[in-house]
Amino acid sequence: MLKDTVDITGGESIAAYQGLLVTGSLDGNLVAFDKHNFSIRWSVPCPPNSHGIQCRILGLRSVDENTLYGVEEHCRLFRYRDGLWTWLLDENNAALKNLKPGLFNDLVVVGNMVYITDSFQHNPTKHPLQRFFSFENSGRILGYNLENGEIGTIAEGLYLPNGIELHSDNQSLLIAECSMYRISRLDIATKQIRSFQAHTYGAVDNIRRSKDGGYWVGISATRFTSSFWSLPDFLALHPKFRSLLTNKVFLPLILLYHGIFGSGPALYKMDGEGNPLRIVIDENKLTNTIAFSQAHETDRSLFVGTPFAGKVFIFPNLY
C-alpha cells in the first residue's frame, strides 16, 4: 500500500503551513515539502539554545495557514510565523526550570492554552529508553497560557506520555502513554484522568484526529505475535529481568531484537470511543523502520512520520 516517500530523516510530526507540509528533521531543521510531488521546498535551521545545543523538533501544530507552534526535545516551546522564531518557553524561564522537565514530545493548542507532553522529569543519568522499559511514571502534561505566559502542571504520574490530541468533545485530551501501551483521557476542566483505550496494538507514539472524526494512532513497537515476544510486555511480568535489562549495555541489543524479529511498525484508526476501526501493519518491513509516529491526512493520502527512518511515508486512500 506504500505510495511514495519524502527523503527527510527523523521527521516525526507533520503539519500544514502556507500550502506546504512541514516537519522537523533529525539534524535540527524545519523542513517544508510539497504535498503533491513530495519535493523538498525549503529547509531552515531551528536556532540552538543558549548553551549552543542544537534542537530537534518533535511536535508541530498549525493554528492557521501562516502560524506554527512546536516543541523541541530540550524543553522549548516556539511559535514560527513568516520566517520568525519566537521562543515562548526555553531554558531561561524560571517557572519552567522549577518544574524540571525532561523531554517535550508533543503539543496541542486549545484556545489560549498550549498543552505539552513532558515525557519524564529531568534525570541526566537515565537514557530515555531506560525510562521506557523500566515503566517510569514521572511523565506529565504541562499547560502554557498564551495570554499571560504562565506554565504549570495539569496532570502527572503518566508513563512516558508522547502524543496528545484534543478529543472531538472539545472538553478532554487524549494522551498516548507510550511505555504503558495505552491511551488515557484527561478532562480539561476537572483534570481527572480515566482510561480511553487500555490495551493498544503496541507502544503508542502519536495521535491525530481524522477528517471523519476518528483518530489515527502511530505504533512504535507492536506487541506479541506468533513469532515475536514483545519485550515491554515480557518485562512487565518479570521485574527482576526488567532491572537487569534496562541499562545502557543491553539497550542496543533490545533495539536490534525489535528490528530483526519485530512484526514491523503499525498504524491504526479508532473512533471517538476508542474502538478500533482498521489497522495497517508493515509486516513485510517495506518501510525499513520499527516505528511509525504521527499521521497527517491531506488530499486523500496519509503522510506518516517516523523517528528513525530517513523517510516520511505516504500511503494512499487510507481514510
Block residue for cell numbers 503533491: 36
Whether 163 shows a pLDDT value over 80: the answer reads yes
pLDDT at 315: 86
Give residue 307's pLDDT. Answer: 84
Residue with more model confidence, 230 or 52: 52
**C-alpha closest to that of 184 among 161, 202, 213, 154:** 161
- Among 6-15, 73-82, 153-162, 235-244, the minimum mean pLDDT is found in 235-244
pLDDT of residue 181: 87
Write the CB contacts of 237 (distance below 8 Å, at least 6 apart in sequence). none
Q: How far apart are CA 248 and CA 252, in angstroms?
A: 8
Please state the length of the chain.
319
Local confidence band at 43 (pLDDT 50, 70, 90 cut-offs): very high
- Range in 8-17, 18-27, 159-168, 238-247 with the lowest mean pLDDT: 238-247
DSSP string across 185-198: EEETTT--EEEEES
C-alpha neighbours within 13 Å on the C-beta side of residue 67: 5
Q: Could you tell me the pLDDT band of residue 213, with boundaries at 50, 70 and 90?
A: confident
User: Considering only CA atoms, which of 205, 215, 204, 187 is closest in space to residue 273?
Assistant: 215
CB within 8 A of 105, min separation 6: which ones?
Answer: 58, 59, 71, 73, 117, 118, 119, 161, 162, 163
Of 159, 200, 162, residue with least CA distance to 181: 200
**Contact assessment for residue 75 and residue 65, using Cβ atoms and an 8 Å cutoff:** no
